[in-house]
Amino acid sequence: MPLSPIDIKNKSFGKSFGGYNREEVKAFLVIVSKEIEELRNERIALAQKVDELSIKLAQYEKTETLLKETLITAQKATTDIRENTKKECELIINKAKADAEQIKKQALEQIQKLQDKINELESHKFTLLNQLKSLISTINLIVDKELTTKDKTQKS
C-alpha cells in the first residue's frame, strides 16, 4: 500500500525508554510528508504532461500520416498529368503528321493537275501554231496567185 503524506504526518510511534526525541521525529515526519506530497503532486503533473504530450504526439503522427498520404497522392497526380500530357502531345504530333501528309498529297495532286493543264495548253498552242502556219501558207498562195494574175493583166 502506497504511503501518503497524511499517513506520514499522522504516524505515531510507541514510547520507549530512551527513544528518539518526539519533537524532532514529528518535525522530520512533517518535512518528509511535505516532500512526499510535493513529489506526488509533481508526479501527477508529470503524468498529466505525459498524457498531454501523448495526445499531441498522436496528433502529430496523424498529421504526418496525412501529409505522407497527401504527398503520395500529389506525386501520383503529377505522374498521371505527365503521362496524360505526353499522350496528348503524341496524339497532336500524330495528327499534325497526318494533316501534313494529307496537305502534301493534295499539293502533289494539284501540281500534277497543273502539269497536265500545261501539257494540254502546250499541245493546244502547237495545234494553233500549225493551223496559223497553214493559214499563212494558204494566204501566201492566194497573195502570190493574185499578184501573178495582176501581173499578167498589167502586162497584157
Q: pLDDT per residue over 52-99, tens digit each?
A: 999 999 999 999 999 999 999 999 999 999 999 999 999 999 999 999
* pTM (two decimals): 0.47
Contact call for residues 50 and 30 (beta carbons, < 8 A): no
Residues 6+ apart with CB under 8 A from 33: 5, 6, 8, 9
Q: How far apart are CA 85 and CA 92, in angstroms?
A: 10
pLDDT band per the 50, 70, 90 thresholds, residue 1: low
Cβ 36 vs Cβ 2: under 8 Å: no
Report pLDDT digits (tens) over 88-146: 999 999 999 999 999 999 999 999 999 999 999 999 999 999 999 999 999 999 998 88
DSSP designation for 139 = H
pLDDT at site 36 = 86
Cβ contact 33:66 at 8 Å: no
Q: What is the pLDDT of residue 54?
A: 97
Category of 18 on φ-ψ map: left (φ > 0), alpha (ψ -120 to 50) or beta: left
Whether the Cβ atoms of residue 11 and residue 42 lie closer than 8 Å to each other: no
> For the residues 7-20, what does the mean pLDDT come to?
72
